[in-house]
């Protein structure tokens, strides 16, 4: 998730017999076990007319997205999304992220087997906020955000969660299912940016293909998707410009006193938000983005950047594969063996070698 996988870390670590951060691992393992124990098979729910029609429609859509990911995209589906869990909560887990006050490099946690990752998940919001407060006390920018789903990376069955069914529209649900299945297909320990970059691209492109196949090119949902994607691109440009100005500022560390550096940082955040609200947001079509705010501190910005700020590399790889998803997955598996997969992907793309991986 991605931060979505934060809740899965404990289960994986315990299952593999690892034992750092014992109390946290036990708490997360218990929470994850409770979620999995509540899982109910989806197929009977689809036939049960006591289940509200809107719930059955969303469950059927999640199943259709899962099948599409397997049959058309070549993702590893196995036993994923064959059950559902209905939670009495707005989120399944709360994820903490942090970053230095004068850097966009994310703070990381080291996990057994999975290596260093830039987030930590908690099932209880109080625990997440306590952890964030402790990090803030160490002089870090922090962020706590609710997460609607997670990936167990193919080790255990991911259920469809009620929180993901209604966290957005049909487009969001389809993209979320495909995003998480991308994690189950390919995950590299200690490479958070690569893992999230590939899942973000596959989720978005998979959603686009799903819409074209299931609703058609002339459908209203296709038009809504295109409009939202244009707004999304505008938001990404806004975040990219903010990140660029901050990196220029932070490059002056050592030459500028920290107090002045922090004052300039605050000014940059305020000015970019003002520009977004006054100049960009009014031109957009979706309510979601017209009301959106840019990241407000380094923790939020660095977390967002892991997902989105290097999508151009994946887009170029996609083009080099002649827009064939199996080719792209084969290419990603190849570069995943390198010490820096994202750098290796960029170098491969720039050599124009993507097409050699066509199946």
Written as six digits, the tokens of 281 are 């947001």
Instruction: Evaluate the CA torsion angle 58, 61, 67, 70 in order and state its sign.
Output: negative
For residue 147, pLDDT over 70 is answered with yes
In this predicted model, what pLDDT tens digit does every residue of 62-98 receive, in sequence order?
A: 999 999 999 999 999 988 999 999 998 889 999 999 9
- Residue 152's nearest CA partner among 17, 42, 33 is 33
In this predicted model, what pLDDT tens digit does every residue of 103-135 receive, in sequence order?
A: 999 999 988 777 888 999 999 999 999 999 999
pLDDT value of residue 162 = 95
pLDDT value of residue 324 = 95
pLDDT value of residue 353 = 55
Written as six digits, the tokens of 21 are 């951060």
In this predicted model, what pLDDT tens digit does every residue of 17-33 receive, in sequence order?
A: 344 477 787 787 788 88
pLDDT value of residue 142 = 98
| Cα torsion through 7, 69, 195, 12, rounded to 10 | 30
For residue 211, pLDDT over 90 is answered with yes
pTM comes to 0.89
For residue 3, pLDDT over 90 is answered with no
pLDDT value of residue 239 = 95
| pLDDT (mean) for 317-331 | 94
Q: Which position has the higher pLDDT, 310 or 324?
A: 324
Cβ contacts of 111 within 8 Å, gap of 6 or more: 9, 13, 20, 117
pLDDT value of residue 1 = 43
pLDDT value of residue 355 = 52
In terms of average pLDDT, the best of 8-12, 86-90, 293-297 is: 293-297
For residue 2, pLDDT over 70 is answered with no
Average pLDDT, the chain: 89
Task: Work out the burial of residue 308: count CB atoms within 10 Å of its CB; fewer than 13 is exposed, 13-18 middle, 19 or more buried.
Answer: middle
Q: In sequence order, what E strands does the chain have?
A: 40-41, 83-85, 93-100, 109-111, 115-117, 120-122, 140-147, 160-161
CA distances from 327 to 143, 165, 336 (A): 36, 30, 14
């Amino acid at each position: 998730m991605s931060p979505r996988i934060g809740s899965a870390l404990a289960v994986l670590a315990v299952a593999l017999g690892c034992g750092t951060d014992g109390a946290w691992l036990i708490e997360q393992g218990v929470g994850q076990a409770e979620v999995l124990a509540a899982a109910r098979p989806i197929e009977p729910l689809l036939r049960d007319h006591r289940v509200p029609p809107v719930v059955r429609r969303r469950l059927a859509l999640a199943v259709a997205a899962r099948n599409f990911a397997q049959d058309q995209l070549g993702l590893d589906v196995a036993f994923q999304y064959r059950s559902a869990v209905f939670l009495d909560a707005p989120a399944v887990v709360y994820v903490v992220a942090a970053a230095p006050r004068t850097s966009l490099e994310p703070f990381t946690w080291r996990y057994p087997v999975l290596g260093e990752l830039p987030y930590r998940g908690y099932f209880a919001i109080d625990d997440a906020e306590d952890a964030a407060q402790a990090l803030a006390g160490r002089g870090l920018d922090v962020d706590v955000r609710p997460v609607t789903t997670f990936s167990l990376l193919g080790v255990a069955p991911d259920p469809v969660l009620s929180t993901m069914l209604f966290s957005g529209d049909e487009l969001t649900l389809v993209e979320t299912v495909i995003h998480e299945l991308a994690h189950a297909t390919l995950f590299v320990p200690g490479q958070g940016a690569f893992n999230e970059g590939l899942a973000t691209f596959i989720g978005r492109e998979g959603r686009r293909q799903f819409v074209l196949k299931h609703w058609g090119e002339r459908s209203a949902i296709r038009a809504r998707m295109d409009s939202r994607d244009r707004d999304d691109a505008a938001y990404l440009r806004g975040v990219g410009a903010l990140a660029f100005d901050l990196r220029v500022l932070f490059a002056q560390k050592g030459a500028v006193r920290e107090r002045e550096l922090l004052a300039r940082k605050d000014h940059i955040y305020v000015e970019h938000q003002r520009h977004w609200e006054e100049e960009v947001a009014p031109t957009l079509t979706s309510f979601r983005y017209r009301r959106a705010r840019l990241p407000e501190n380094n923790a939020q910005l660095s977390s967002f950047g892991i997902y989105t700020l290097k999508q151009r590399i994946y887009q170029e790889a996609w083009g080099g594969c002649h827009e064939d998803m199996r080719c792209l997955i084969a290419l990603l598996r190849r570069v995943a063996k390198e010490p820096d997969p994202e750098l290796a992907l960029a170098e491969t793309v720039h050599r124009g070698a993507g097409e050699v991986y066509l199946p």
